[in-house]
Amino acid sequence: IKWNQCSTKTYPDRLLKRVNEFEFPAVDIFVTSADPILEPSIITMNTILSLLAVDYPIDKLALYLSDDGCSQLTFYSLVETTKFAKLWVPFCKKYNIQVRAPFRYFTSKSTPLEDDSLEFQHEWKKIKNKYGDLCKKIELAAQRPFTCDPNSDFAIFCDVDRSNHPAIIKVLACPSITIIPLPFVLIVKL
């Protein structure tokens, strides 16, 4: 067998010249997680943020996080990430940000350029601070045990065994019910 190296070059800007946006197919994206200790939640959440900010019609996009470990930390992280996404996704679209995972974006671009508009610089700092807050919340949540409060969003996790639990499906964002449009975001625990 002889291997031939190939490279693929995409031209997403040409897509709209060939197909109208309403003709795009619906796309379901699945992200899986099994253990928030072995797979740090912040890395999983950065993957989710980059997928939510993809340049695709939001009404034709759905993102599912399949959490095989039935972790309260993963659920909490996704709830907080969905809140942050309401800032991150519009920021990416408004300024045509190409690197859409915040941890990668903020490490590659440590400060906005002086040539950037004042509005961009202000929003950039705000988003970076909010992302730092998100990281701290997730880190702190990983260090403390979750209490079982029957009146909270976590009530469904009370007395749940990681290896034997009922199916749990929660919708965290829906394009028709959020003020700042996001694709469907669901967490699935089977």
Q: Are 119 and 126 in contact (CB under 8 A)?
A: no
Domain annotation covers residue 31: yes
Confidence at residue 109, expressed as pLDDT on a 0 to 100 scale: 67
Domain annotation covers residue 12: no
Domain annotation covers residue 13: no
Average pLDDT over residues 61-81: 89
Confidence at residue 190, expressed as pLDDT on a 0 to 100 scale: 62
Rounded Cα distance between 92 and 115, Å, is: 18
Q: For tokens 């034997």, what's the residue?
A: 164
Domain annotation covers residue 100: yes
Confidence at residue 178, expressed as pLDDT on a 0 to 100 scale: 60
pLDDT band (50, 70, 90) for residue 20: confident
Residue 23 annotated as lining a ligand binding site: no
DSSP lists the bridge partners of residue 30 as: 64
Tell me whether strands 184-189 and 168-173 are parallel, antiparallel or unpaired.
Answer: antiparallel
Residue 12 makes CB contacts below 8 A (sequence gap 6+) with 55
Domain annotation covers residue 20: no
DSSP lists the bridge partners of residue 33 as: 67
Rounded Cα distance between 82 and 146, Å, is: 20
Domain annotation covers residue 16: no
Confidence at residue 8, expressed as pLDDT on a 0 to 100 scale: 83
Confidence at residue 146, expressed as pLDDT on a 0 to 100 scale: 73
Number of domains composing the chain:
1
pLDDT band (50, 70, 90) for residue 110: low
Residue 68 annotated as lining a ligand binding site: yes
Q: Are 78 and 48 in contact (CB under 8 A)?
A: yes
**Is pLDDT of 58 > 90?**
no
Domain annotation covers residue 9: no
Q: Are 185 and 82 in contact (CB under 8 A)?
A: yes
Domain annotation covers residue 111: yes
pLDDT band (50, 70, 90) for residue 50: very high
Length of the chain: 190
Kindly report the pTM of this predicted structure.
0.84
Residue 180 makes CB contacts below 8 A (sequence gap 6+) with 86, 89, 90
Could you list the residue range(s) of the whole structural domain that residue 149 is in? 26-189
